[in-house]
Amino acid sequence: MRFPLLNKLLAVLFCTGTLLVSASASATVIVTGTRVIYPSDAREVTVKLNNNGTVPALVQSWIDSGNLKEDPNAGGMPFTLMPPVTRIDPDKGQSLRLIYTHDPLPQDRESVFWLNVLEIPPKPAKADVDQRLLQVAFRTRIKIFFRPTGLKGEANEAPAKLSWAWEHDATNHNKLVLRATNPTPYHVSVVGAKVTSGGKTYESDSQMVAPLSNATFAFKDLERQPDGPLKVNFETVNDYGAIVPAAFPASSN
């Protein structure tokens, strides 16, 4: 089933007259949790949506592989998601059902996908038709981690097993970056890494280190490698969405 009207609402959408929007505008449909863990042997996994607003909300949901601009109708994802479109009344909820289609996925590591929840605002009341009005569609995205059974170790142990090393940026050899290497089969979501040099602390952006792979972290204004042994303080997000502090080497905690 295709939903061309809803696809057009993926950006900002219908507008009447001059721009007028409240600074407090926010989504009213809330996704329970910040990530979804899908064990490979599960028949299905549910995600709860709640409408905390005062008016009904129309919601479209779909899964993508990480591309923000991916067409919701493109298909090709190894999950069935039901219902793809639903109405949620005020103070009510709706469960989304994710069902793995058993399309081939790596069995030696996690795979990651993204759940998208697009909240479409209701049509303005008749009394508002002559007002200058902007309506915005709110889109929430959370990660889906497909976790094969039998993986070595535990997901919550993975952050401590990251190894870090300085290297020159591949695109700018005058710039230093930290390379984090992940030897585990689990994704590690790093909220931010911090290093100290000359009494000043430098912090990197957040990113995810894929299983059995690596990622580089850049530090703005850090011009030289700090003296002495490398020490990195960083934070990660666990399966429950909690922020967990960590350090390299681990013994420096």
How high is the mean pLDDT of the chain?
86
The pairing of strands 57-64 and 111-120 is antiparallel
Of 44 and 17, the structure prediction assigns the larger pLDDT to: 44
Of 19-28, 37-46, 59-68, 188-197, where does mean pLDDT reach its minimum?
A: 19-28
- Please give the pLDDT value at position 127: 55
What is the token pair recorded at 236?
């990660």
Predicted confidence (pLDDT) per residue in 80-91, tens digit = 999 999 999 999
Spatial distance between the Cα atoms of 222 and 194, rounded to a whole number of angstroms: 11
For 149, residues 6+ apart whose C-beta sits below 8 A from its C-beta are 39, 40, 41
* pLDDT at residue 128 greater than cutoff 60: no
Amino acid identity of residue 223, one-letter, is E
Of 79 and 73, the structure prediction assigns the larger pLDDT to: 79
Its CATH architecture, for the domain 155-252, is Sandwich (2.60)
Predicted confidence (pLDDT) per residue in 94-125, tens digit = 999 999 999 999 999 999 999 999 998 777 76
* pLDDT at residue 244 greater than cutoff 50: yes
- Please give the pLDDT value at position 43: 97
Spatial distance between the Cα atoms of 101 and 201, rounded to a whole number of angstroms: 47
DSSP for 127-171, written as a single string:
GGTTS-EE---EEEEEEEEEE-TT-SS-GGGTGGG-EEEEEE-SS
What is the token pair recorded at 224?
């030289």
The pairing of strands 29-31 and 93-100 is unpaired
Evaluate whether 4-147 and 155-252 have a shared fold.
Answer: yes
Of 71-75, 125-129, 188-192, where does mean pLDDT reach its minimum?
A: 125-129
Spatial distance between the Cα atoms of 57 and 194, rounded to a whole number of angstroms: 41
The domain locations on the chain are 4-147, 155-252
Residue 189: name the closest of 240, 226, 139 by CA. Answer: 240
- Please give the pLDDT value at position 48: 98
Q: What is the mean predicted confidence (pLDDT) over 33-42?
A: 97
- Please give the pLDDT value at position 119: 93
For 151, residues 6+ apart whose C-beta sits below 8 A from its C-beta are 108, 109, 110, 185, 186
For 128, residues 6+ apart whose C-beta sits below 8 A from its C-beta are none
226 pLDDT band, cuts 50/70/90, is confident
* pLDDT at residue 7 greater than cutoff 70: no
Q: What angle do CA 60, 64, 66 make, to 5 degrees?
A: 130
Predicted confidence (pLDDT) per residue in 46-71, tens digit = 999 999 999 899 999 999 999 888 88
Residue written as tokens 């430098």?
Answer: 202
Of 222 and 163, the structure prediction assigns the larger pLDDT to: 163
Spatial distance between the Cα atoms of 104 and 110, rounded to a whole number of angstroms: 13
> What pTM value is reported for the model?
0.84
What is the token pair recorded at 89?
């009344």
Q: Is 250 exposed, middle or buried (0-12, 13-18, 19+ CB in 10 A)?
A: exposed
Find out whether 194 and 203 touch, Cβ atoms under 8 Å.
yes
Share of the chain above pLDDT 90, in %: 65
Find out whether 25 and 153 touch, Cβ atoms under 8 Å.
no
Which CATH homologous superfamily contains domain 4-147?
Answer: Immunoglobulins (2.60.40.10)
